[in-house]
Amino acid sequence: MDVPTNGLSGGLALDRSFRIAGLEMPNRVVLGPMAGVTGRAFRRHLKRHGAGLVFTEMVSAYGIVYRNRRTEDYLEFEQEERPLGVQLFAAEPHVLGEAAELVLERERTPDLLDINMGCPVRKVVKTGAGSALLADPARAVSAAAAVVRAAAARVPVTVKLRSGLVPGEHTALELGPRLEAVGVSALCLHPRVASQMYRGTADHAETAALKRLVSIPVIASGDVDSRAAAAAIMERTGADAIMVARGVLGNPWLVSELLQTGTTVLGGAAVLDDLLELLEGVTAEMGQERGVRWFRTHLGWYLKRLRVPARRIGELRAARGVEEVRAGLERLRRELTLTP
C-alpha cells in the first residue's frame, strides 16, 4: 500500500512550519482542545514548551449566541498564545454560523475556527453536537458550510473528527472530501469511534486513508505519547502535523521531545519548577481559590513522574491556599534532594 506523503523528508521534521490556508504555524505540534484543561494559563504554558498551534476548550456556540458571560470568558486569550484556534460545538448549523460571526466581531479575534465533530462525552452528544453530528453527514456538512460562510475568508475553518460512532463505521472518510468541498481548510482525525471513548488503540490506518482522500492538511490525533509514537504515526499516515492532548498532562516536555528542542530526562527540581510556574499562571488567571482547585488535578499527573507516594500527593491536594501549596512543593523538593 502506498504511504501518503506530507512533503517532508529526513526524520520526523515536526519542527518545520506548515500552513492551514493563509495561516502559518511555526511547527507541526498542535495542542488539542481539552475541556477543563486548555484555558489561557495552560495554553501559555504549552506555548512556552514549544507548541506551534493551540486551541481553546470547546466553546458552546449557544452560549456565545445567548451572550453567556461564562462562555465568553472561554474566548479570551493573550497575544502570546497566537496562533490560536477557537473550537465551537453545537448541533444546529445556523447557531454555529451565528456564533462564528460573533467571535469574529470581537476586538481580539482568533487565528482560526474549529468545529467539534468528535467529542464522545454524553452531555455533548445528547444535544446532537460533537460526535453526534457524524450520525447526520448532511447536517455536519451544512454546519461546516455555515461557519465557512461566516468566516468569509478572514480566518481558516477546520474540523475535528472521530472515525465514526460505532465500530465498523468510516464516516470521517465519507465526510472528509465533502467538508473540503464546502471550504474547510484542514481536518483533524482522532481515529477511534465515539463508542470507544479513549479505550483501545487509535487506528491510524483511518488517518492514512483520509489523507489520501483530501488535498487539505490532515492533523493526526490519538495515542501520541512519545517521539517514537509520533514518528510511527507520521510514517504510516503522511499527516501534516501531530495533535497532542492527554499525553502532555503532567508531561509538557513531550512537546520538546517531539521537536527535539530539549531534554526529556528531568530531575525533581525541573518538574517542581514547572509545576510552580503553572501554579502562578493559573492562579493569576482564575484567582487563588479556583486556580488551586484546578491545579490539584495536575499534581498527580506531574508527580507520578517522580514516583511520589500517593499519600504525599494527597497531602498536597488537601492544601487550601497558594502559599500552602507552594510550601508543600518546597518541602517535597527538599525531600527529593535528600533521597539518594
Residues 192, 280 within the same domain: no
- CA 41/CA 285 separation, integer angstroms: 6
pLDDT averaged over every residue in the chain? 93
Give me the pLDDT at residue 339, please.
Answer: 58
Interval 205-220 mean pLDDT: 98
Backbone angles phi, psi at 78, to 5 degrees: -100, 155
E strand or H helix at 296: helix 288-303
| Spatial CB neighbours of 172, under 8 Å, sequence gap ≥ 6 | 134, 161, 162, 163, 164, 187, 189, 191, 206, 210
Q: Which CATH number is 229's domain given? A: 3.20.20.70
Residues 254, 276 within the same domain: no
β-partners of residue 243 are: 30, 221
| Active-site annotation holder among 119, 150, 161, 275 | 119
Domain boundary among 259, 293, 308: 259
Q: Which is it for strands 23-25 and 186-190: parallel, antiparallel or unpaired? A: unpaired
Residues 62, 189 within the same domain: yes
CB atoms within 10 A of CB 195: 14
Instruction: Give the model's confidence band at 15: pLDDT under 50 very low, under 70 low, under 90 confident, else very high.
Output: very high
Interval 44-49 mean pLDDT: 96
DSSP state of 307: T
**Domain total of the chain:** 2
CA–centroid distance for 43 within its chain: 9
**This prediction's pTM:** 0.93
Backbone angles phi, psi at 299, to 5 degrees: -55, -50
Domain boundary among 227, 259, 291: 259
- CA 313/CA 307 separation, integer angstroms: 10
- 9 domain residue, yes or no: no
Give me the pLDDT at residue 336, please.
Answer: 81
Residues 49, 179 within the same domain: yes
Residues 121, 77 within the same domain: yes
Give me the pLDDT at residue 12, please.
Answer: 73
Could you give the count of Cα atoms lying within 13 Å of 56 in the half-sphere of its Cβ? 25
Greater confidence (12 vs 138) lies with: 138
Instruction: Give the model's confidence band at 135: pLDDT under 50 very low, under 70 low, under 90 confident, else very high.
Output: very high
Residues 61, 165 within the same domain: yes
- 1 domain residue, yes or no: no
Residues 147, 207 within the same domain: yes
Written as nine digits, the cell of 289 is: 481559590
E strand or H helix at 217: none
Instruction: Give the model's confidence band at 166: pLDDT under 50 very low, under 70 low, under 90 confident, else very high.
Output: very high
Written as nine digits, the cell of 94 is: 445556523
Residues 158, 247 within the same domain: yes
Residue 119 annotated to the active site: yes
- 34 domain residue, yes or no: yes
Interval 50-75 mean pLDDT: 96
Domain boundary among 259, 289, 317: 259
Written as nine digits, the cell of 28 is: 507541526
- 92 domain residue, yes or no: yes
- CA 180/CA 178 separation, integer angstroms: 5
Residues 187, 303 within the same domain: no
β-partners of residue 189 are: 161, 220
Written as nine digits, the cell of 183 is: 471550504
- CA 279/CA 295 separation, integer angstroms: 7
Residues 212, 217, 218: CA angle, nearest 5 degrees: 65
CA distances from 327 to 274, 316, 334 (A): 15, 9, 11
- 8 domain residue, yes or no: no
- 10 domain residue, yes or no: no
- CA 281/CA 46 separation, integer angstroms: 12
Q: Write the pLDDT tens digit of every residue in 265-297.
A: 577 888 999 999 999 999 999 999 999 999 999
Give me the pLDDT at residue 335, please.
Answer: 84
- 329 domain residue, yes or no: yes
Provide the residue range defining the domain that includes 290. Answer: 268-338
